[in-house]
A and B are shown apart, each in its own frame.
Chain A
Amino acid sequence: NAGVTQTPKFRILKIGQSMTLQCTQDMNHNYMYWYRQDPGMGLKLIYYSVGAGITDKGEVPNGYNVSRSTTEDFPLRLELAAPSQTSVYFCASSRTTNSYNEQFFGPGTRLTVL
């Protein structure tokens, strides 16, 4: 199993550009999450999904959109990139529908908006 994979690893965007961060998991996990981590800071939840077709906002959803058309994939869309979105983005997944299960994280995407 590859676990949770994310692409790209690095990206530089200009202000106002858009992009999609890809996330795929091969563990058949129901729950998937997107976090951002600013330098030297903790993890903030952007969006999460409890299954295909179901998504919900986290703590910091503004400026982002998500979709979950399959169990495996959970892409994060940035529209009109802003410097405040410079961060490291982590995708994570979890097995079942309760909080007693660990989250598995992808390697992250380092995004810089100039």
Chain B
Amino acid sequence: GQQVMQIPQYQHVQEGEDFTTYCNSSTTLSNIQWYKQRPGGHPVFLIQLVKSGEVKKQKRLTFQFGEAKKNSSLHITATQTTDVGTYFCAGPVGNEKLTFGTGTRLTIIP
């Protein structure tokens, strides 16, 4: 079945440093979604990418969908303590459900 892997599994950065997480699918995706889960919280939708090579920005966050639509990345510029959490990518399985990636847990060293 479809697998969605993320690297790294964990990332510890100094506040102000940049952070990137990578998402790789075993199959071509029609779209990819990104979610953020704060410690002790629930996943919250961040963004969806649909087009090959698409790049979207949300303030300090930059999301990219690969040309082959099998990979994606999330880059955070100048991390802040509010960025702490686990970031998940998710790809569709058919038209009814999502497969979530393994997640990247980001911790910030003040």
- A-side residues, CB < 8 A to B, are 31, 33, 35, 40-43, 45, 48, 50, 56, 58, 90, 92, 97-100, 102-108
Contact = CB atoms under 8 A, between A and B. Distances in A.
A97 B48 contact: no
Contacts, number: 58
Contact of B100 (A40, A42, A50, A97): A42
11 contacts: A42-B100, A43-B43, A43-B100, A45-B98, A48-B96, A48-B97, A56-B96, A99-B30, A99-B95, A100-B31, A103-B45
Contacts of B50: 100
List 8 tightest A-B contacts by C-beta distance, closest first: A99-B92, A102-B45, A105-B42, A43-B100, A98-B95, A42-B102, A105-B43, A42-B103
B85 interface: no
A104 B97 contact: no
